[in-house]
Structure 1
């Protein structure tokens, strides 16, 4: 089961380079939303697995009790069940937060588009190069 959850090869969902062009920012936001959406699926599967393991652990504690083994083993197995159940609850909360990040990222992407898409279309359709943002800003006053 632990083999199902393998770390990803990439270090970041979206590169944090200095490229702030309209299309680059839109791509980074889309990549981030997509990566977070995939993480939500992974977290949901993890939560389900942890809850199932917590339930199995609880059943095992009952089986140990019915076998009349030392009560210490029943207590230890119940502690495992409680810990797994608590971890599953926290994974669910993390999943909810990740879903919220997906929504906020999509909202940021739409807002960015609303503010800058028109400017990008004007700049992209010009046949000549245009100054970079900040070119006309006077330095020192």
Structure 2
């Protein structure tokens, strides 16, 4: 998966799984469903969807951010670029694309170093590296989203 790990990978089993993530443990899922119930799960999912829409809305309005896809998010993934001030006015050319390719990895490394937060990144097709925020934590809040946006800007 992502090769830019800023920690000792000897304890990281994520890359050893076929699905490039942590193995799904259905027993834990079943216990969680029993504890929360169907309505509780629905509320948790709806909260994550609302936070994804909140992030999307904030990014659309904020200078220095650009959505990778123009449509509203359909799930909890929000894909975006942070564009540093030094090349916001550059024309959309290969030089700008090459500079933009380095932004997300650098900011992610700084986030890991500072221990403040972490957002994954990836390229897709002809789209250079972009942040891919997946909102799945039921304890996340709008203030966490605000912090994330500010932190990316601070580190970028």
Task: Please indicate the TM-score interval, normalised by the length of the shorter structure.
Answer: under 0.3
TM (norm. structure 1) is 0.27
Decide which structure has the larger Cα Rg and report it.
Answer: 1
TM (norm. structure 2) is 0.25
Q: By percentage of residues, which structure has more helix?
A: 1
Q: By percentage of residues, which structure has more strand?
A: 2
Select the structure with the greater relative contact order (CA < 8 A; seq sep ≥ 6). 1
